[in-house]
Amino acid sequence: MHDASTHESVFDGKRRARLDEIMKRYPTKQAALLPALWMVQEAHGWVSDQAMAEVADVLELTPAYVKGVVTFYTMYHQHPVGKYFIQVCTTTPCNICGAEGVVEAFLQHTGCGELGATSKDGRYTVVEVECLGACGFATPVLVNDDFIENVTSETVPDLLERYR
């Protein structure tokens, strides 16, 4: 998934061509900021200050503006995360259905130990998130882009088998 070092330029070659295509769809370069940041995250797994500066340069924005957007949206990682980024809803409706137990099971079976930490093998990072909009299917979990409902502490080990 991550095919470049964080020190390499993101918008060279094919990615630059893709970004140019995206920019054509918008009236201003600034409007392409979110997809540009998404491309950075696809390439590096997270958005470093250096990458924010590159995005700012390409889109003719200030690095401070880009950083403001990155820090606003929780979907952008500001530090390296595991290959599998696991988000567990722990808002009240899910919580009363056992979400805390689901979180504990993930922390234990991934080896992460604590929320926000990455497992030693680099595979997993587990975080809690607010309502994922599937309150009737507690507990919903996002593993990268996969949305999985009805997760329980008992089903966590089997679920993780899919993400090795």
Q: Which is nearer to ligand FES, 34 or 131 (CB)?
A: 131
DSSP per residue over 112-126, as a string?
Answer: --STTPBPTTS-EEE
| Whether the Cβ atoms of residue 156 and residue 102 lie closer than 8 Å to each other | yes
Phi, psi of 45 (to 5 degrees): 90, -15
Identify the CA nearest to 126 among candidates 100, 154, 92: 100
Stretch that binds ligand FES, among 5-13, 36-44, 51-59, 91-99 (CB under 6 A): 91-99
Q: Which of 6, 50, 91, 152 binds ligand FES (CB under 6 A)?
A: 91
94 binds ligand FES per the rule CB under 6 A: yes
Residues between 121 and 150 with contacts to ligand FES, criterion CB under 6 A: 131-135, 138, 140
96 binds ligand FES per the rule CB under 6 A: no
Which structure tokens are listed for 146?
A: 């996969």
Q: Which is nearer to ligand FES, 28 or 92 (CB)?
A: 92
| Whether the Cβ atoms of residue 100 and residue 88 lie closer than 8 Å to each other | no
| Whether the Cβ atoms of residue 84 and residue 143 lie closer than 8 Å to each other | yes
Q: How far is the CB of 86 from ligand FES (least distance, A)?
A: 15
Q: How far is the CB of 132 from ligand FES (least distance, A)?
A: 4
Q: Which of 56, 89, 127, 151 binds ligand FES (CB under 6 A)?
A: 89
SS3 content of the chain, % helix, strand, coil (to 5): 45, 10, 45
Residue ranges that bind ligand FES, judged by CB under 6 A: 89, 91, 93-94, 131-135, 138, 140
